[in-house]
Amino acid sequence: MTEQITHRKSLLPVKLEDLTRFVLIGREKLVAVKAAIRAIDKIGLAKDVREQKLGEGQELGGALLDAEARIGELLKDLPSPAGSKIGKRGVEKTLPTGITHKLSHQCQQLAEYPALIEQVKAEAVENEDIPTRSEVLRKIKEKKREEYRQAIINKGKYVPESEKWHIEVGNIITYQTKKKFDFVITDPPYSKEYLELYEILAQRANDWLVFGGLLIVMCGQSYLDWIIEQMSKYLKYYWTGCYLTPGQPTPMRIKQVNTTWKPILFFVRKGEKYTGKIFGDVFKSDLPEKAAHDWGQSISGMSSIIKGVCLPGQSIFDPFLGAGATGIAALGNGCFFTGIDINEDCINLSKGRLNDYVAKR
């Protein structure tokens, strides 16, 4: 297999300009091949005709990925002329015609991960598809994200306890603590299979909140009425806030709605009255942050909530810790923080992130 890959790559052009020309022309040919496959599917030609055209597309797609990776290797070694501009990705070199700075960056990423290129090619053959640059870049992003998470997790295993924050493995159903908190601020999972957690959260909040404290919980819109009804069995509904989310709207297909916000529900213990500061009810996240956790909220979004509602010196508890964004936002506002999660990796990840945050302040 290795000999086949080496032989195939040896057939590629050697010079940067020739490789660039090969890629530009090859991309146009690949568009035509894909169009031909769509036409074959539409008119229902013989299976062997489609297989032949698909094989052509797979071979061409693989060759283009090899060529782009080779371009990336050559671009890394390209000298930077005097007076070069500093762009978002570093020094902006003078590039060959047809190679943009974005494509240059992507080709250099491909050059760093040849094994992922081969993986995408193999998967394309298995799935009767054509290997693409976008799929390799997606896998590279996933790999870098996992490497980033794992590095912080490994560091978090050795982080000492802090007077300002405490994090440990814990289950929301069974977790016990002598502490009482001014706020429980959390973001449980939204899908239907986890709905019962909202009811459990409401029950346990009675154990965790100080007199007049608030439970502040994010949720999705799909089951909002059910969540309010179930949580109101154990707590008194106080208010609904709006959490504005950046980027493209999220389609709620079942309701035919594109939404750009999430509800934030506020509850107080029954028979008690919230006595904290006056707060606004619209909060905003600047950018989505999913590098550390698939379901994670952004630090900017959690900071918007905590700065808007909490005072420095107050205590915050998050029983769905995840990657620790609530903890970082709490420390940033001068609050004390406690968090639990059932996943030990999430605990170590959060410890590493909080420790790094404190060290940089």
Which residue blocks in the chain are alpha helix, DSSP H? 2-10, 16-43, 47-76, 101-112, 114-126, 133-156, 196-208, 224-231, 299-309, 325-332, 344-360
Residues 199 and 310 in one domain: yes
Q: Cα 236 vs. chain centroid, distance in angstroms?
A: 34
CA neighbor of 299 nearest in space, from 270, 322, 265, 277:
322
Which of 105, 127, 152 delimits the end of a domain? Answer: 152
Which of 123, 152, 181 delimits the end of a domain? Answer: 152
What range does the domain containing 92 cover?
A: 2-152
Q: Are 276 and 298 in contact (CB under 8 A)?
A: no
Distance CA 14, CA 152 (A): 40
Residues 90 and 176 in one domain: no
Q: Are 323 and 335 in contact (CB under 8 A)?
A: no
Distance CA 30, CA 65 (A): 12
Residues 10 and 115 in one domain: yes
> Residues 216-238: pLDDT tens digits?
999 989 899 999 999 999 999 99
Residues 146 and 204 in one domain: no
Residues 67 and 90 in one domain: yes
Distance CA 61, CA 10 (A): 16
> Residues 89-144: pLDDT tens digits?
555 667 777 788 888 999 999 999 999 999 999 999 999 999 999 999 999 988 88
Q: Residue 283 sits in a domain of what CATH number?
A: 3.40.50.150
Residues 352 and 306 in one domain: yes
For position 281, what pLDDT does the model report? 96
Residues 309 and 291 in one domain: yes
For position 91, what pLDDT does the model report? 54
Which of 124, 152, 180 delimits the end of a domain? Answer: 152
Q: Which residues of the chain are modeled with pLDDT < 70?
A: 1-10, 79-93, 149, 152-153, 155-161, 288-296
Q: What residue type is 240 in one-letter code? A: T
Residues 175 and 148 in one domain: no
Residues 125 and 68 in one domain: yes
* Domains held by the chain: number: 2
Distance CA 204, CA 176 (A): 10
For position 5, what pLDDT does the model report? 43
For position 203, what pLDDT does the model report? 97
For position 78, what pLDDT does the model report? 74
Residues 187 and 331 in one domain: yes
Residues with Cβ within 8 Å of residue 307, at least 6 apart in sequence = 329, 333
Residues 141 and 163 in one domain: no
> pTM of this prediction?
0.67
Collapsing DSSP states into helix, strand and coil, what is residue 321? coil
Residues 50 and 167 in one domain: no
Tokens matching residue 65:
């990925």
